[in-house]
Amino acid sequence: MFLVLLEFLTTSIVIRRKSDQIDINTELIKKSFENATFQGDIYLVNNQNEILYSTEYNEIEYDNRYFSDEYVSTDSLIFSETYHDNYMENWRVIGVVSESVALEEAQNSRLLIFLFASINFIVPSFVIIYITSSLHVRLLRILRKMKKVKNQQFDIIEGVEYKDEIGQLTSEFNRMSKKIKDLINDVYIANLQKKDLELKSKQAQLSALQSQINPHFLFNSLETIRMRSLLKGEKETAHIIKNMAKILRNSISWGREWVRVEEEVKMLEYFLEIQKYRFGHKLEYDIIMDEDVMDCMVPNMAFTPFVENASIHGVEPMLDIGFITVTIKMKGNYIICKVEDNGVGMEEAFLQSYLHSLEEDESMGDRVGIRNVYYRMKLLYGDQFTLTMKSKLGKGTTVEIVCPASHEMKQ
């Protein structure tokens, strides 16, 4: 306020550069002091501390009155501004106001100051709370949806799509969830349906295989028994017929899917007795079985086709005596059945072609019994089942079947 007053006073002072005389426009100075809104008294003092004009007297004074403490009471406040000019160096405008008046004006301004301070604090606080609350809610919603992903729940996040970073994250999450669901529907479910169809095809094929009985073995055996029975009547024939009946009954009783190893070995003995009856001294056999494997469960007719194959395709074409050895033992958690013969054997190329046809699931063709067992064991045990065949032409063939040992039937 004093600076404004000083600037106005400079317009009221006319300087004449004649004998360094200074003329003052008293009317303008008077109007300046009268128009001042200061609540106390104002004094215009020169560099010698002489009062030139004041609002107290309302006129220019030339009686050498000097500004002193007598113009200031104990409860007053003093404000002073100094003017710097070549002709008015160190002139001052001094304001004296009562302390109560100054404090009253400050107190009147306190409410306005508090109002502005409250606005400056509350409004930004609400804005910050709103923004942080929005961020927290949206992040929490994304987190809940992401936790559901591990349970294969790919839900889309509904709501307004914001343009900020969280909004972009939400959009990318929705795009990812939709893509995963599409992939599951297009690939995973389709693959399951394909596998299901393949399994049904295998089951149908297995049912067809189970309904087949090798007519060559039955016809040859029955014809041999018939011819021998005509030539001589003996108990041996009756025993062989009994074995044939048991094998035939077991081969067509497919409702009994699982048997103990001991029962499977009984079928092997029945079969080999019949074969020995057919070939006489031309066939010798030996069955070796560990006691700890007797009560383990295996698929019905799991080993018989391999013994049949050794007898018919390995030993029967021979001119010399043929030997068939069946060894069944336990190794760790697996059953190992080894069928060895000293028959005619197979060429390496034929053996590899035959094994390849088993692996590639090609047409059933010849040796239906072995293919039947191979596919059944693969369906039941998967990669835990292995079949190994080794053969040398004129030296014989060795077949090794490995499957898990279990005392319970697999479903």
Which pLDDT does position 230 carry in this prediction? 64
9 and 113 in a single domain? The answer is yes
Q: First vs last Cα of the chain: how many Å apart?
A: 103
- Say if residue 158 is in the same domain as residue 18: no
Contact 345, 314 (CB under 8 A): yes
Judge if 299 and 216 occupy the same domain: yes
User: Is the dihedral angle over the CA atoms 145, 149, 151, 154 positive or is it negative?
Assistant: positive
Do 162 and 192 share a domain, yes or no? yes
How many domains does the structure of the chain reveal?
3
Please, are residues 244 and 274 in contact by the beta-carbon 8 Å criterion?
yes
Q: Is residue 158 a contact partner of residue 174, using CB atoms and an 8 Å limit?
A: no
Asked if 272 and 312 count as a contact pair (C-beta separation under 8 A), the reply is: no
What's the rounded Cα separation, in Å, for the pair 215 and 208? 15
Residues 138 and 191 in one domain: no
Task: Please give the single-letter amino acid code of residue 377.
Answer: M
Show the tokens assigned to 27.
């009317």
Angle at 352 between CA 350 and CA 358, to 5 degrees: 105
Q: Torsion angle of alpha carbons 237, 238, 243, 248, nearest 10°?
A: 100
Whether residues 387 and 346 share a domain: the answer is yes
Specify whether 135 is located in the same domain as 158: no
**How many Cα atoms sit within 13 Å of 184 on the Cβ side?**
9
| Residue 52 contacts residue 83 (beta carbons within 8 Å) | no
Residue with token string 């501004």: 81
Domain limit, last residue, from 145, 167, 189: 145
Residues in the chain: 411
CB 79 within 8 A of CB 97: yes
* Type and span of the H or E element at 198: helix 189-210
What gap in Å lies between CA 291 and CA 233, rounded to an integer? 38
Q: In degrees rounded to 5, what are phi and psi of residue 363?
A: -55, 145
* Ramachandran category for residue 24: left, alpha or beta (phi over 0 → left; psi -120 to 50 → alpha): beta
Listed residues 145, 162, 181: the one ending a domain: 145
How high is the pLDDT of residue 323?
93
**65 belongs to a structural domain:** yes
Is residue 318 within 8 Å of residue 303, measured between CB atoms? no
One domain, residues 89 and 178: no
* Within a domain: 91: yes
282 and 312: one domain? yes
What is the structure's pLDDT at 18? 42
- Using DSSP, state whether 60 is helix, strand or coil: strand
- DSSP letter (8 states) at residue 256: -
Tokens of 338: 């080894």
Q: Are strands 322-331 and 283-289 parallel, antiparallel or unpaired?
A: parallel
Q: Does residue 411 belong to any structural domain of this protein? A: no
Model confidence, pTM: 0.47
Classify residue 207: in a domain, yes or no. Answer: no
pLDDT tens string for the chain (411 positions)?
454 455 545 545 544 444 455 556 666 666 766 666 666 777 877 777 777 777 765 544 445 677 776 677 777 777 777 777 666 677 788 778 777 776 776 666 777 788 888 888 888 888 888 878 777 787 888 788 778 777 777 777 777 677 777 777 888 888 888 888 787 777 777 777 777 767 766 665 665 555 554 555 665 666 677 667 767 666 677 677 777 767 766 665 555 678 899 989 998 998 898 888 888 888 899 999 998 898 899 988 889 889 988 988 888 888 889 999 999 999 989 999 999 999 899 999 888 888 888 877 655 455 677 888 888 888 888 889 999 999 999 899 999 999 998 877 665
Q: Give phi and psi for 164, each to the nearest 5.
A: -80, -170
Give residue 398's identity as a one-letter amino acid code: T
* Tokens standing for residue 186: 């297009």
Dihedral of CA atoms 377, 380, 382, 385 in degrees, nearest 10, equals -40
What distance in Å separates the CA atoms of residue 161 and residue 170, rounded to the nearest whole number? 8
26 with 168, same domain?
no
CATH number at residue 313: 3.30.565.10
Q: Which two tokens stand for residue 246?
A: 């048991």
Range of the domain at 49: 1-145
Q: How far is CA 122 from CA 112, 126, 127, 369, in A?
A: 15, 6, 9, 89
Same domain, 180 and 223: no
Clarify whether residues 117 and 262 are in a common domain. no
In this structure, how many other beta carbons lie within 10 angstroms of the beta carbon of residue 391? Answer: 20
Category of 147 on φ-ψ map: left (φ > 0), alpha (ψ -120 to 50) or beta: alpha
**Which tokens is 82 given?**
């100094």
Does residue 52 form part of some domain? Answer: yes
Q: Quick check: is 229 in a domain? A: yes
Q: What angle do CA 79, 82, 86 make, to 5 degrees?
A: 165
Q: Is residue 409 part of a domain?
A: no
